[in-house]
A and B are shown apart, each in its own frame.
Chain A
């Protein structure tokens, strides 16, 4: 804390608070040697520099609307806005077109800080509330992109780790738990005490080991911990480095989002578990700048992690290949039959087995979040799914059939991630010209603006962009809106589908 401000970003420099718990090791000696300011600004902080050669925080703050210079206000203002919108949309689409190899079955434990520091109001309304809100968004998004992955949530509070939700594959279950937590954050679960990295990580490790995977000793799926950390220190019962060792051994990858400042021990955890060079600043550890940056960092973890080079090599050398899973695609059955006999409507409800939210033997941790036993799920609109192998019925998917142990999943769940598998090639903007071949957008039938002679109409939208984006496979032209829609939502090129 007595260090000057500029130093807080340096990767390994132990802050005075941590020095008490970081034992002397070869690593930290190296850290001492990097302490000289000259060296540091030469290596680690280069990318912090802004355009003017100074640090980016020395620049004048640029608001997004300042970029619009309204020198000649008539008309061109609008086209400027239009162009900015188009540019933004272009920026949004940064889907990589080369197929990644991803470990798609992920098991993730989210660790949320619930210590004193989370009551700070630098994020509105409080750090904790915002984190919970973003987590809910994250979970929805996570299961959208990683349909058969599993997830659990742990809360760090009063120096211990609490289990918020068991590792499970049902987004609704987690969201319910988080909502309950959110409701009670002011009376029972207000942020308090210190955070303990070790306790939380050990619990996460236990969860990951216990719940991992559906096929035994399968090491190629990814085990991850995502931590939202607001504190600047940790109070641990033992040696955290031992925990880090065991994390590395269990191949659990930890990513951390810091809410206040960079903390050396976090950096170390991240670098060690992700097999990154000791001093490098890893993309798995980010410190937020503001709310939107927080969300951005969080949402980055939605996409499956790409396998590192090392892992790929390992895979090739081991030669035991990737696991393959047997799955069933159940059919949906409506267990309710309404029939009319005489003058009264009868509703026949067939008995059904509810195999949702498997807790896999462990007790629900009632001290943290109460379980809502009054399941409104079982209303008369409940639909069931029938296991194709043993014909038993379950109400929630994805799950493991309680009778025959077959993994049951909706084909639509699996298909959600297929656009990762076969990414759609980006469209290219057609260069500005005097006249174009296409008059209408192939997708939405929107009329394109006519071409103008370059340079003749400065300030007009037509002279800045052709507004046409071409798929090079089927050579059809699309408007920017269709381009965004096709790449962000649809993942199909309408033109190519028609050939």
Chain B
């Protein structure tokens, strides 16, 4: 029987997908379905949470070459 389930499709590269899975493992109930390497289906109301978490994770390892420079 045909089923249409509501959700938000997330398109991202595999590395980001791995991060989202990590986020999901810490606070479960975000991911509804893993579709393929670059697509995920997630809960509609969790999108913002994912984005925020992702930003936190990503900015942990950013090197800013101008940082030292600007202190002069």
Do A and B share a direct contact in the complex (Cβ within 8 angstroms)? no
Query: What residues make up the interface of B, taking CB atoms closer than 8 Å to A?
Result: none
Query: What residues make up the interface of A, taking CB atoms closer than 8 Å to B?
Result: none
